[in-house]
A and B are shown apart, each in its own frame.
Chain A
């Protein structure tokens, strides 16, 4: 099926086929041209009514479900922080006391837990964890809403992003991106993948590898209760490295959560405002389709 989309001046923008369209293979620099063509073949007025319905229902749900998701994430974060601090404390105490060898096994296991928590976001994303994916989706929507309402500069300033920052949330959540992007896996080799990965992903890879290494080493050591002082020193260093990276992640995540709390309401109000314009959009679209049909007849 072929459907033409025309703008208000009658200029044909694209020819839409019933299958997924192909991105143009030109030297384009526009992201717009990367957008796959819609796979819809029926009148789009129906889609407009669905959009209205969706938003009407979702706008009231977003705040409550978003808060619930955030609260869960916050609890996880708090728990991760407690575990992290406890592991470091134990590591330090163990190193200072004569009971060092008595504590090795349990400490090693704790380090393993901490490392697992550091990498848990990656696991959640890579396994399609609904929680984290949902949080990121809501965050993306909130970011977009806030930017349309308040402007790019204001929102980015709030997030602490400048022109040179690859991504404000990237340090923490990009662990998942690195792990999911093939060749740049958490436990992957550094070689070609590291050279090809983005800056953001390199940071993530470093964090991920530290977490992975600490987790693996600690589990083995804890399980067998056999560990050398050299290995233990290595694990201790890994634990501290995890701590620094994890704190960076937590600070960014905390900022992100605070912003989400504040802006979810703003987002809803913004949607309310935009929703009102959809009626106009539907009428305009109907008129355009009618005009197109009439002109072709």
Chain B
């Protein structure tokens, strides 16, 4: 028995659907992130990214890990790519806007949050619309 198989055999496990597995991957990454184990969490989120590239959570979470280890430009790239691949991802645009504001790129931040607002309104999700509106208000106030 290989090392990995032996290791896994120690954990009784029910069969999971792909969707379940993606949730579990995100769950474990989220947990590691909460434990401030960002390198380990990033590994989980990279795996999620490769498995489900159109899931915005992978891009958001991986970017958040890079922000935590003070790699904001890497995070900015990831949010930008996430916004491309995970279509209509309001959160990716908002995350990008927040980061741009922190990087003192205020006008770009407002532009990003405008895109987020546009997408949110187009999508019709009240929660995301509220988020985008609040973000815009905050960004405009900061300028």
Contact = CB atoms under 8 A, between A and B. Distances in A.
A204 B42 CA distance: 30
Interface string A243-257: 000000000000000
Contacts of B118: 181-183, 193, 196
B60 A34 contact: yes
A44 B27 contact: yes
A196 B44 CA distance: 34
Given A50-B16, A133-B54, A35 B31 contact: no
Nearest to A138: B50
B139 to A, nearest CB: 10
A168 interface: yes
A24 to B, nearest CB: 9
A30 interface: yes
Interface in B11-66: 11, 13, 16, 21, 23-28, 30-37, 39-40, 42-47, 49-51, 53-54, 57, 59-66
The binding surface of chain A is classed by DSSP as helix
Interface in A146-180: 147-148, 151-152, 155-156, 161, 163, 166-170, 173-174, 176-177, 180
The binding surface of chain B is classed by DSSP as helix
A277 interface: yes
Interface in A108-149: 125-126, 128, 133-134, 136-141, 143-145, 147-148
A18 B60 CA distance: 20
B53 A176 contact: no
A140 B86 CA distance: 13
Contact of A23 (B40, B83, B131): B131
B140 interface: no
Interface of B: 4, 7-8, 11, 13, 16, 21, 23-28, 30-37, 39-40, 42-47, 49-51, 53-54, 57, 59-85, 87-88, 91, 93-95, 98-99, 101-103, 108, 111-112, 114-115, 118-119, 122, 127, 130-131, 134, 138
24 contacts: A7-B35, A8-B35, A22-B127, A29-B102, A30-B98, A34-B98, A35-B33, A36-B57, A36-B91, A37-B30, A39-B26, A40-B27, A49-B11, A125-B84, A136-B85, A141-B50, A144-B78, A167-B81, A169-B81, A176-B84, A177-B80, A196-B111, A198-B112, A274-B43
